[in-house]
Amino acid sequence: MPHTYMSRQKNNRESARLLRQRPLIISGPCSAETEQQVLETAHALKSIGRVDVMRAGIWKPRTRPGNFEGVGAVGLDWLQQAKKETGLPIAVEVATAKQVEKALAHQVDVLWIGARTTANPFSMQEIADSLRGAKVPVLIKNPINPDIELWIGGLERIQKAGIEEVGLIHRGFSTYGNSEFRNIPTWQLAIEMKRRFNELPFLIDPSHICGKRSLIQNVVQNAIDLDYDGMIIESHIRPDEAWSDAQQQITPGELLKLLNNIVWRKDGLSSEEINESLDRMRRIIDNLDDEILTLLGKRMEIAEQIGGLKKTHNLTVLQTTRWNQTLMRLYEHAKRLGLSPEFVDQYFNAIHMESIKHQTKIIS
């Protein structure tokens, strides 16, 4: 065993305070690239005075081979040095038992589990087993697919291994086709997870949701409006030159600006604050409306594909029995959600008409 029980204990005492910071701000590069980059970033992050933990990916799970896959364990030495020079606690991603062992041996203060790993119960169990007896805090990202049970399962495996300090990271979900986001936020799933585990720190990862800088501020504000406890956000001293995820990284200086632009939540409301909270809710509504529109766009794409099939097989565009069955199902669902049948009629008839237009266009 390269790590001792004592060093884990010490780890925990420092880190237990860490995850209780509000807002909790974790930042640093997508990947550790060179010793100089890690140290420069650490000093820049330290100097803005708002960062609680420095992150850096050491082993990078890339979706496809051939991209930069991380510097490996040597990066842990650089991070330890960064911690020594700045006092900033350090966080890395782990995906295997071996990586857990190496990270703990290097006194990493916080571990996080990536979205591709959370999606795999075999990996989660392997990591959980390797953490047995350790005292390090662990943050668990949502799985890449929008499956709340899988996320909960990952959390449970880590907790059952005896890890007491755990937290959750919302980093969005994979999607096929056009979306302004790299990983769509699907706020309603995250809100449900947060509701079920209200006592756990709940962080936003705007970098991996957005995939590009221009969207980050808005997503962070949404999360703060929804009472998230903080964020894990990628930053790099020279973002455009980053070896991974260049488009979504910001400089430490830009991070400070972003933090200063946030409207933070307060307890109790004055009339000014009521206006503020109205604004916040409107932003959430705007966001939901955008999501509805995106879904409608997707629905029309499928309708057009069906149109193609109907054309090939010479079927009518309007299939009344099918539409009646659909409406019946929707009435039932709507009732459970407290929505009236009149609303279902108006709303879905409009959608249906639009679908028919799309199909007719394909068929004729």
Rule CB under 6 A: say whether 115 interacts with ligand PEP.
yes
Tell which positions 22-81 bind ligand PEP, by CB under 6 A: 30, 57, 61
Q: Which is nearer to Mn ion, 235 or 359 (CB)?
A: 235
Q: Which is nearer to Mn ion, 90 or 128 (CB)?
A: 90
Least distance in angstroms from the C-beta of 232 to ligand PEP: 7
Q: Which is nearer to Mn ion, 30 or 158 (CB)?
A: 30
Tell which positions 222-251 bind ligand PEP, by CB under 6 A: none
Q: Which is nearer to ligand PEP, 57 or 137 (CB)?
A: 57
Contact residue for ligand PEP among 135, 194, 208, 236 (CB under 6 A) = 208
Least distance in angstroms from the C-beta of 227 to ligand PEP: 21
Q: Residues near 99 by Cβ (< 8 Å), separated by ≥ 6?
A: 58, 59
Task: Using the rule CB under 6 A, give the single segment among 11-19, 114-122, 132-140, 336-344 that binds ligand PEP.
Answer: 114-122
Task: Using the rule CB under 5 A, give the single segment among 111-119, 132-140, 183-191, 242-250 that binds Mn ion.
Answer: 242-250
Rule CB under 6 A: say whether 143 interacts with ligand PEP.
no
Rule CB under 6 A: say whether 135 interacts with ligand PEP.
no
Rule CB under 6 A: say whether 158 interacts with ligand PEP.
no
Rule CB under 5 A: say whether 93 interacts with Mn ion.
no
Contact residue for ligand PEP among 28, 75, 114, 252 (CB under 6 A) = 114
Picked from Mn ion, ligand PEP, none, the partner binding residue 102 (CB below 5 to 8 A depending on kind) is none
Encoded tokens for 300: 């029309």
Contact residue for Mn ion among 245, 250, 255, 355 (CB under 5 A) = 245
Q: How far apart are CA 342 and CA 67, in angstroms?
A: 53
Q: Which is nearer to ligand PEP, 30 or 88 (CB)?
A: 30
Contact residue for ligand PEP among 106, 157, 171, 358 (CB under 6 A) = 171
Rule CB under 6 A: say whether 141 interacts with ligand PEP.
yes
Rule CB under 5 A: say whether 144 interacts with Mn ion.
no
Least distance in angstroms from the C-beta of 125 to ligand PEP: 18
Least distance in angstroms from the C-beta of 97 to Mn ion: 23
Three-state helix/strand/coil letters over the chain: CCCCHHHHHHHHHHHHHHCCCCCEEEEECCECCCHHHHHHHHHHHHHHCCCCEEECECCCCCCCCCCCCCCCCHHHHHHHHHHHHHCCCEEEECCCHHHHHHHHHCCCCEEEECHHHHCCHHHHHHHHHHHCCCCCCEEEECCCCCCHHHHHHHHHHHHHCCCCCEEEEECCECCCCCCCCCCECCHHHHHHHHHHCCCCCEEECHHHHHCCHHHHHHHHHHHHHCCCCEEEEEECCCHHHCCCCHHHCECHHHHHHHHHHCCCCCCCCCHHHHHHHHHHHHHHHHHHHHHHHHHHHHHHHHHHHHHHHHHHCCCCCCCHHHHHHHHHHHHHHHHHCCCCHHHHHHHHHHHHHHHHHHHHHHHC
Least distance in angstroms from the C-beta of 52 to ligand PEP: 17
What residues does 27 pair with on adjacent strands?
54, 233
